[in-house]
Structure 1
Amino acid sequence: MVVSLLCLALVALWARPRWPSKRQSQLFTVAAMVCLSAACLADAQPLAGLTGCASFAAVGGYIAFFHSARLMVLNLSTALLTIAVLSVRLAAEDTLLAACKFVVLVVAVVSIPFSLQTLLQFVGLDVLNADVDPLTGLLNRRGLERRMSEAFTAASRFGDRGITAVMIDLDNFKSINDSAGHAAGDAVLVGVGQTLLTAVRPSATVARVGGEEFLVIDDIDAGGVVAMAEQLRAAIAATSPAITASIGTAHAKSVDARTTDHATFVKFLVAEADRQMYIAKRGGGDRSSHAVVTLPPLA
């Protein structure tokens, strides 16, 4: 009865509209281990209890997806102890059957979660590589969108300082490819990418979003936007071979990450920064243009 009531309480975590928190999920896995062990050990038939131990593999698979190796070890230890106790009970009736059940269950409980975890690591590497520009090592547009989504989801990171998008386009980049070749152009892109990483704050996100276009997003106040843009412009101008950049910025004040439609908002902010960049480029390049924006109306 206790196990049944506890299982109903666990189900209630997923019956709510909001997904359980990490701590709640950890408590769920620990409670699931206890419930499974108690239910299997309480069964009067050791063979039936051993059959129920296969469910530890499902708990291990859940842990492999969402939690740490520490919980994985705890689940494995609980499962092995439960299987061992029930196997000893069954051995009093049928030693060969007990040995077979023990081996099969241990293999299942150990191999399934760890196989899933290995698969997830390979998939994670593929996803990570898909988010990175292969030439510069910076985030690409997809990686930028993922990073911003995570930042908005995590908390009200941008708070009262707001958020700024900085669009950077290299001036006359095509002439470098035409005169010195694409290898030289690639070297310039790599150099500019490293320059940007060095020049921005650790909190900033830097991405290559086009052929010779770069984007920086950071949570800085409005007073620091112009200084930041000029710092980046000067740093790019100091690279070798010499090249200049047109820079556009768009700053939004007091962004509430908890209530903002982040996908729509980031696209809106980047589009405005792009528009300001073209204003700077039409002004002759090697300069910056700035705008303070308000949130677009949410649908």
Structure 2
Amino acid sequence: MIPGGQSNYYWLTSLLAARGLQARTARVVAFVNGGVGLLPMLLILSPAGPHGPVREAIAVAIAVYSLTVASVWLRHSWPSQRFSIITVTLWAIPMSAACLVMSDPMLGMLATISFIFATGYVAFLHHPIFLVPIWGAGAITLGYLAVRIGMHDPALAFSAAAVIALVNVYVFYTCRTAIDLSSTDIHYSEIEQLTGLLNTDGLYARAANLLAARNRQDDRHMVLAVVSIDSFPLLASMSGPRHANRARIDVSQALRETVRRNAIAAHISDSDFIVADTFTTPDASPLIDRIQGAMKSTPSRVTASIGVVCTPLAPLTVHPPEVVIDALLAAAAQAMERAREDGGNDVRYDVRDNLPIDE
């Protein structure tokens, strides 16, 4: 679950990656950082902008800082959560400075609208506590400029400051509401950061729920498949980490689009994915055929060795869920290894009437 007070960083960034939007989003963040940071230096050319050696030096420093942060966002890898938190909170300093160095306080008041970018960013990706230093700096800046403007036009000063404050509150509320409405019952700690699928902890938790919640009729069968990308170490060494990550993202998206809504899809290691579901028959070939077809249509065009274990569900319910999942994973992994040893890009099925389980 992603509660309103939790950080959404890895949940949202993994979803962006799974949908191929991470690079585009990183470019937008870089553009906003660089663009907003360059504006104070550009306004040196305006009579209302920063003038004098100190103010102009501050404008140049803001531009350098903003371009440095933007360059990090343009790297092929998504920045860490720590870097994101540090940069967005520190950004309050150059934002405030950019507003205060303007010769015309009304222009400085207008510039405080840039705090909205930080408000929306934190509201979407981080815990709301990180808005405290940002809104604190914004309030001080807004108050100082309102006093300067209010010396000549109190009504204008109050109205301008109120509008900017209300817009920030509205943006924060809207972003947090959108996150709450789109969140799932999956805790962010159960999500694998790159692909947005379940990680190992999430697999065990969801599989246990699957075993406990499904109708345990005698004609129900538990199906678990291990999908392992063929020659993944070779792909990573020859094409580099970016292409290897792209392949994993492509496979995760293929699985997400192929399995049923209530099925389990997890990414538990560099090249291994898990699919688990219940069937009314022991024949899981329609699902596996769809998975193979979806993988062939991905941009990466990777193949996979797939091992599938299928066993009646009813006998499994008398054992602890973790023990059952371990047994299913072991059997499916053995089947996958047989497919890989036979050349890969193939499937091996292990249909058992009674899965041996050691407690």
Call closer, same or farther: CA 1:158–1:204 in 2, change over 3 Å: farther
Could you list the per-position Cα deviations for residues 171-219 of structure 1 after superposition, in whole angstroms to 9, with x for gaps in the alignment? Answer: 1122222222101111111111011010112221000011110000010
The one-letter amino acid of 2:238's match is S
Q: Deviations over 1:217-250 (max 9, x none)?
A: 0101445312222221221122112110000000
What is the identity, as a one-letter code, of the residue corresponding to 1:212? Answer: S
**Residues 5-36 of structure 1: CA distance to partner in whole angstroms, max 9, x if unpaired?**
xxxxxxxxxxxxxxxxxxxxxxxxxxxxxxxx
**TM-score computed with the length of structure 2 as normaliser:** 0.45
Partner of 1:68: none
**Is the Cα contact below 8 Å between 2:282 and 2:311 reproduced in 1?**
no
Aligned counterpart in structure 2 of residue 215 of structure 1, from 274, 277, 283? 274
Task: Give how far 1:257 is off.
Answer: 6.1
Larger mean CA deviation between 256-265 and 276-285 belongs to 256-265
Is 1:180 aligned to residue 231 of structure 2? no
Q: 2:284 aligns with which of 189, 200, 225?
A: 225
C-alpha contact 2:219 2:281 (8 A) present in aligned 1? no
Structure number with greater Rg is 1
Q: Which aligned pairs between 1:194-273 and structure 2 lie closer than 5 A?
A: 194-255=253-314, 258-273=317-332
Query: Corresponding residue for 2:356?
Result: 296
Cα distance change on mapping 1:238 and 1:296 into 2, 3 Å: same
Aligned mate of 2:202, from 137, 143, 146? 143
The residue type paired with residue 231 of structure 2 is: N
What is the alpha-carbon distance in structure 2 between the residues aligned to residue 217 and residue 191 of structure 1? Answer: 19
Unaligned 5+ runs, structure 2:
1-179
Q: What is the distance in 2 between the residues matched to 1:244 and 1:209?
A: 18
Q: Point out where structure 1 has 5 or more consecutive residues left out of the alignment.
A: 1-120
Show structure 1 runs of 4+ deviating over 6 A: none
Q: Deviations over 1:246-276 (max 9, x none)?
A: 0000001142565333221111011100000
Number of aligned residue pairs: give it: 177
Structure 2: how far apart are the matches of 1:258 and 1:202? 22
- Normalised by the length of structure 1, the TM-score is 0.54
Amino acid of the structure 2 residue aligned with 1:177: A
Q: Match of 1:181, as an amino acid?
A: G
Q: Secondary structure of the residue that 2:265 maps to in structure 1?
A: strand
Find the aligned partners of 2:267 and 2:230 in 1 and give their Cα distance.
Answer: 15
RMSD: 2.6
Aligned equivalents of 1:208, 1:278: Cα separation in 2: 17
